[in-house]
Amino acid sequence: MSRRLPDALAGLVVLVAASRLAAADLAALGGCRPVDRPYDAVEVPGAALRLKRSAISRLGVLAFRGGTPAPVPFQVDERRGRKLALADGPEPTADDQPGTIDADDLVVVLPCDLGEAASPDAVTRAAGEGSMWREVRVRDPVDGTTGFAYVVASDAPPRTDRRYVAYTPAGDFVQTAAYRVGLVNALPTYLATVHGGSPGPNLLDGLRLRAEAHLRGNLARFTLDEQRGRHSLVAWRAGPVRTIRRSRHWIALPAGIQISAGLAHTYFYPRHVFGPGSLKLPFSPGIFFNDIHAFGGADGRDLRGWRYHAPGVPPAGFAIDGHMDDAEKAFSGSGDWFVLAGKNEALLFVTRMSPELARVVPLELVYRDDAERPNPPEAEPGTVPLVGYEGRGVERLPKGRYTFAIRILFLDGYRPGDERRLLAQIDQPLEVDVPAQG
Q: Where are the domains of the chain?
A: 42-160, 165-427
> CB–CB of 117/73 below 8 Å?
no
Give the model's pLDDT for residue 220. Answer: 79
Whats the size of the chain, residue-wise?
438
Tell me how crowded residue 22 is: count the other CB atoms within 10 A of its CB.
9
Longest dimension (CA), the chain: 76
Name residues of the chain where pLDDT drops below 70: 1-24, 252-261, 437-438
Strand partners, 363: 391
Give the model's pLDDT for residue 9. Answer: 46
Give the model's pLDDT for residue 175. Answer: 97
> CB–CB of 417/288 below 8 Å?
no
H-helix or E-strand containing 154?
Answer: none
Q: How far apart are CA 420 and CA 101, in angstroms?
A: 38
Please spell the DSSP secondary structure of 393-421, one letter per residue.
-GGGPPSEEEEEEEEEEEES---TTTHHH
CATH topology of domain 165-427: Beta-galactosidase; Chain A, domain 5 (2.70.98)
Give the model's pLDDT for residue 24. Answer: 52
Q: Pairing state of beta strands 257-268 and 243-253?
A: antiparallel
Strand partners, 369: none
Give the model's pLDDT for residue 7. Answer: 46
Strand partners, 352: 405
What burial letters (b/e) apply to 111-142, b meaning 16+ CB within 10 Å?
A: bbbbbeebeeebbbebbeeebbbbbbebebeb
H-helix or E-strand containing 83?
Answer: strand 83-84
Closest by CA position to 258, among listed 295, 221, 228: 228
